Amino acid sequence: MYSFDVFDTLITRVTATPTGIFSLMQRKIQKNPMYQGNAYVQENFFSLRIGAEEVARNTYVRNGINEVTVEQIYGVLVAEHLLTEGQAVSLATLERETEQKAVQGIPSNIKKVKQLLEAGERVVLISDMYLDRETIQKMLGKVDPILASLPLYVSSDEEKKGKWTGELFRLVQEKEQVSWKDWHHCGDNPHSDYEVPKSLGIVCERYQPEALLEVEKEYLKGKEAEAKTQLMVGCARLARIYGKENTAYRLGCSIGGAILYPYVNWLLKDCVEKGIKRLYFIARDGFIIKELADVMIQKQGLEIETRYLYGSRMAWRIPSGENWKEELRQIYWRSYEKLIGNSTDMAAFLQVPEEKLFPYLPDAMKQPNRVWTVASVSLLLDYLLNSPSFSSLLYQVYQAKKGLLLRYLKQEIDTREEGFAFVDMAGSGFTQECLARVMREYYPGKIRNYFYRKDMVFEGICENNVFYPHRVPYYIILEMLCRAPHGQTMGYQEGEKGKMVPVLSEVDGEAIQKHGVPDFIEGARAFAE
């Protein structure tokens, strides 16, 4: 015969910890008019429920009785004049309903049960639990009807025998008429599922449940009574249980998804309120954000269309208006002031081949060992822009790039109504301002942007909506959560049948795969689901 523990072996909860169920109940109690006037219970139910169980065990677990019932637990709160009889009955019902709604299966062990049954083996379930048999069977049936059909022994049954004392195993042995040596048991508790049954002669297998990560434990400290925190951490743990075992996937579930989900949830709600129907997620940070948004839009039945827009600083910061030279200076001061140290860097900034730039450099700047300081680069930029022939060359380059960009934007962005917005992760917003300038060539309406964070405010064309207006320390780590499975957008070109397509850098393609970016994205999506 084979026996399996129930909780945290075959089934688990959507909350981070078992007591997280009480945090979900507390949230419901706070909205229930039945408890108006009993603010103490409304605000402290989580702690009161845990304490009442301890008192109930201290009161009733004696003289061969190893377990308490839900009614005895709530009876403590009645006896101590914290609840009325009616409230106690209502809360016991609510707890059972909440447990049933929050239950989730553990696929690996459910698969083992099914394989044993298919092989003709006898399987029973054993649980140390204050919940009654009927409730546990409903929970098992919700996960898989086969589980609900198996013999179930519960410590809260009439005999009140527990695994932790060995008495429940003895009761099962008597009822099932199985010898100790022919009995295999699997469970997660090191004492009641391993040490105790092993001492009786049962063959034992210890199941190691998916533990919380250290960062999740730290996040839970002082927040165990918060339903939202319990659900966030619980969903991350469940996503790991259901998915891949590699590190990238697990980090996507537990870090990427958990950090990005609140942002996406907020922006979708904001879009509904403002009547925004089309969202354009900007490469590359927008890739994973779009993945989460697509899941949430589908689950919530929202009427929002999403598109992925290939773009980058290099592709969009094009100085091409009437004051294009001043725009180029702005781009330099905002992005490249301390990044140019030689002619190769300067050519990359100006977006011209180095061989075309080199003849226009002053002789001093052509020396191979010359150190390019910030001051000298600023002077060089002015020198080049004051050169009629070189500035003419630059203008032609930028006009050509702008023409390709305009064709791509007109092809991809539906501007027939103002109900659209761009979505990005973080930054100053300057790249979007550059994009808006180009779009002014054909679209005079409102241009909205969404950001997770921005670290400065300036007057411009765009309307910027920011989730977290804060200069986040080490924000570059936040952006590193938003890698995409493709390289940077370098520009655009005409593809088949005249369709405009992005030109992507292939430099980091191998590293993207090596470091597990696709699995990380899949993990974040699993968290959202």
**Cα 249 to Cα 524: distance, rounded to the nearest angstrom:** 8
Q: Provide the CB-side half-sphere exposure for 266 (13 A, CA).
A: 14
Q: Terminal CA-to-CA distance of the chain, rounded, Å? A: 37
What token pair was written down for 310?
């290939």
Report residues of the chain scoring pLDDT below 70: none
Concatenated DSSP letters of 154-199: ETTSTT---TTTTHHHHHHHHHHT--GGG-EEEES-TIIIIIHHHH
Instruction: Count H helices and E strands in the chain, helices first.
Output: 24, 15
Phi, psi at residue 491, to the nearest 5°? Answer: 170, -155
Task: For residue 235, give the nearest of 146, 296, 305, 145 by alpha carbon.
Answer: 296
pLDDT of residue 75: 97
User: CB-based burial of residue 127 (10 Å sphere; 0-12 exposed, 13-18 middle, 19+ buried)?
Assistant: buried
pLDDT of residue 359: 93
Beta carbons within 10 angstroms of residue 93's beta carbon: 11
Strand blocks (E) in 292-381 = 305-309
pLDDT of residue 426: 87
